[in-house]
Structure 1
Amino acid sequence: MAFTLVLHHLSSFVFLLHASGKLLLQNKLVKSLLRDYSRQRQDERMMFDLIRYNKPSQMHDQEGDSSLDQSNIDKRFEILTEVHCDRLNCI
């Protein structure tokens, strides 16, 4: 239960919150997550869970499919890549 709660809040903050005042905090959080992921590859499943997480909607019933489509997953990878490359000064 705790993992699902953390997953929900992290995913919402990193991928859904578009407040300009929070951009620096979002970038720091993403950098920290990526740094941790690079050090501990056994956490790969948790990182993919974060990327694929889709906030449950009240419109979905209990059995409904709440997975993201591929274009949304690609956008999330782009967000992570942008922050990661900014940290490494990628070209």
Structure 2
Amino acid sequence: MVVNLTPNEILIICLVALIALGPKQLPETARKIAKGFGQLRRQSSQLRAEFTSVVDQAVEESHDQELLRRAKETDSCASQDPNPRDLQ
């Protein structure tokens, strides 16, 4: 999630925060906000990794099932092929 803020917008946000919170609470509040964003980013990464793992596993299982289906088809076709000696 990328937020495109101009330097002027950032300055206005900082000034409003300074006025609203005061110079004593501003650093602590900024740390809490940064910590929250860090946790959100880590959880997002973990969720993305878990989702990718589940999708990869499903694709692999699907591929395995397709290989088994083809092997069974090959076996059934091989059992239906006439014996070359019978053709003579």
Instruction: Give the TM-score category using the shorter length.
Output: 0.3 to 0.5
Structure with the larger helix share: 2
- The higher-RCO structure (CA 8 Å, 6+ apart) is 1
| TM-score, scaled relative to structure 2 | 0.35
Q: Is the radius of gyration larger for structure 1 or structure 2? A: 2
